Every structure is written in structure tokens, then in C-alpha cells.
Amino acid sequence: MKSGKFWAWVVFALGAAYFFIPLIATVEFSMRMRRGAYSFDAYQIVLGDPRFQATFGYSVLAAVFTIILGVLIVVPAAYWIRLRLPQLRPIVEFITLLPLVIPAIVIVFGYIRMYGSNSPLPFLATDMGTNALLVIGYAMLALPYMYRAVDTGLRTIDVRTLTEAAQILGAGWGTIIGRVILPNVLIAVLSGAFLTFAIVIGEFTMASLLNRPAFGPYLQNVGANRAYEPAALAIIAFAITWGCMSLIQILSRFAPRSANRPN
């Protein structure tokens, strides 16, 4: 009993060390810019860099649009599949997994071929079009996470009966999705949204090949040319991701008190 507990702690400590030592080393390194003393100089430089602000702003905006697009596509689709086409679920699940299997670079080259300036759908002819294409690409990259999150949320409610209860009270599809389904899967949608956010903020391949001024290519650029700043950037990116994860945790605690707690 005692020794079992002891070894459990040893394994835990090893795991924690594996995770934290590189992190601590990076933090330590990022603070050594000034000779002989620890300082936040590297962070100051990074945060003060106008290109950091511009690219980060661009990626945040792209993430917001990606999330909106993803929610608009995934929530009605996952809902309809649960309600009317349950036999399609395995197929749809497979399709949503494809972005994990097909490398982003393949998809981007496909896009460039398909949507070039002299194609029938010339997304790439304008800046706005290219931005839109990037958001569409991101929505697809985030699909596996968004779909799974929403589908799991839908599993916790009795979709069919709630739909019928709303229908018989006179509600149409808009009301049903907006007032009954979405609020009950809001937490799931939010966790999908934060995962999407984390993916979009760090994404490199698509943004770079579509030549967009996003945060990912900026990270790469700084990483290739500087010494201390990349470490600071890595820590900042890490903090953002962790911030997202903690927000998911906090939000699910403050969720509309309602959502389906077992009696």
C-alpha cells in the first residue's frame, strides 16, 4: 500500500519533470537577454514589436471568424445528424477526421490550384478572398475538434424529445436551434471554440503558403533570426493556450446552471 503510493508519486514526479523542466529552462533562457541579470527585456521587445501586434491581431480576428463559421456549420449539422440521420454518423465522423490525416500542405496546394485568379472561383485574386479562404481552411482544420465537442454536448441532452417538445409548442427550426439546442450545448461549443482559437493562433503552413500576415509565420520568422525573443514568444504562446484551456474549465463551472446535471 505505502510503497504503491510511493512509486505513484515517483512516476508523477518524473512526468511532471519531463513537462516542466524544458518549460522552466525556456523561461529562464528568455529572461537572460541582459547580461548578468534576469530581466523581461526579451518580452518587452517582442510585445513592443509592431509586427507582433499586427500579426497577432490578424490571427485573433481570423480565429473569431473561424469560430463563427465552424459553429454555423457544425452545430446544425451535428444536430441534424443526431435527429434525423443517425445512420450517417460513422461516415460524418470519418469525414471530420480527414483534416488530421491529410497534411495541411496538401490542402493548401489544392486550394491554390482550385481557386487561383483564373479559376471559376477566384478566391486568391483579392486579399479579402484570400483571407476568406484562409478562414475556410482553418474551419476545416478545426473540424475534428469542433465536431467532436458539439457531438459530445448533444449526447448529454435528449435531442429528439426536446426538439419535439419545442415543435409541438409551435417553434420552428430557428427557435429550436437558437433557444433549445444551442444553449444546452453552449459549453461544448465554447470548448470547441477555444480549441479552434489555439489551433488558429499557432497555425503556420496555411498562412505562410497563402502569404497571409498571421502570427504563425511571424513566430517562425523571429525564431529563425533571433536568440532570446523566440523563447519569450514561446512562453507567450504557451500562456495563451493555457489561458484558453483554463477558460474552458472556468466557463463549464459557471455554465447556465441548468445544463443537464443528473438529478
Partner 1 sequence: MAEPFLSIQHVRKSFGATTVVEDFNLDVEPGEFVSFLGPSGCGKTTVLRMVAGFEEPSAGKIVVGGKDITRLKPNQRNVGMVFQAYALFPNLTVAQNIGFGLKVAGMAKANIDARVAEMLDIIKLPQMADRYPYQLSGGQQQRIALARAIAPKPKLLLLDEPLSALDAKVRVSLREEIRSIQKKLGITTIFVTHDQEEALSISDRIAVMYGGKAEQVGTPFEIYNRPATKFVANFVGTLNVLEGKVTDAAAGTVQVNTQEVSLKGKLNGSKSGDMLSLALRPEAISLGRQPGRDSSLSGEISEVHFLGSVIRVRVGIGGNTVSLDTFNSPATPPPAVGEKAEISFSSSDMLVLH
- Tell whether residue 253 is a contact of partner 1 (CB under 8 A): no
- Tell whether residue 86 is a contact of partner 1 (CB under 8 A): no
Q: Report in angstroms how near the CB of residue 163 gets to partner 1 at its nearest.
A: 9
Of 91, 204, 244, 68, nearest to 146 by C-alpha is 68
Interaction residues for partner 1, span 105-164 (CB under 8 A): 157-158, 161-162, 164
- Tell whether residue 222 is a contact of partner 1 (CB under 8 A): no
Q: Report in angstroms how near the CB of residue 187 gets to partner 1 at its nearest.
A: 11
Q: Which segment (27-35, 58-66, 119-127, 178-186) binds partner 1 by CB under 8 A?
A: 178-186
Long-range own/partner contacts, residues 104-110 (CB < 8 A, 24 or more apart): 104/137, 104/141, 104/203, 104/205, 104/206, 105/205, 105/209, 107/137, 107/140, 107/206, 108/137, 108/205, 108/206, 108/209, 108/210, 109/209
Q: Which segment (103-111, 177-185, 212-220, 234-242) binds partner 1 by CB under 8 A?
A: 177-185
Residue 229 neighbours by CB distance under 10 Å: 20
Q: Which segment (67-75, 113-121, 122-130, 255-263) binds partner 1 by CB under 8 A?
A: 255-263
Give residues with Cβ within 8 angstroms of 149, minimum separation 6: 188, 189, 191, 192, 195
In the shown chain, the binding pattern of residues 184 to 203 toward partner 1, with x for contact by CB under 8 A and - for none, equals x-------------------
Q: Which residue has the cell 490542402?
A: 107
Q: Report in angstroms how near the CB of residue 165 gets to partner 1 at its nearest.
A: 4
Q: Report in angstroms how near the CB of residue 158 gets to partner 1 at its nearest.
A: 6
- Tell whether residue 45 is a contact of partner 1 (CB under 8 A): no
Could you tell me the sign of the dihedral formed by the alpha carbons of 49, 62, 138, 90, in that order? positive
Q: Report in angstroms how near the CB of residue 206 gets to partner 1 at its nearest.
A: 36
Looking at the Cβ atoms of 178 and 213, the one nearer to partner 1 is 178
Q: 102 is written with which cell numbers?
A: 491529410
Phi-psi region of 64 (alpha: psi -120 to 50; beta: other; left: phi over 0): alpha
CB 78 within 8 A of CB 147: yes
Give residues with Cβ within 8 angstroms of 88, minimum separation 6: 81
Q: Report in angstroms how near the CB of residue 182 gets to partner 1 at its nearest.
A: 9
- Tell whether residue 57 is a contact of partner 1 (CB under 8 A): no
- Tell whether residue 171 is a contact of partner 1 (CB under 8 A): yes
Looking at the Cβ atoms of 131 and 184, the one nearer to partner 1 is 184
Of 239, 247, 230, nearest to 29 by C-alpha is 230
- Tell whether residue 260 is a contact of partner 1 (CB under 8 A): yes
- Tell whether residue 251 is a contact of partner 1 (CB under 8 A): no
Residues found near partner 1 in the complex (CB under 8 A): 157-158, 161-162, 164-172, 175, 179-180, 183-184, 256-263
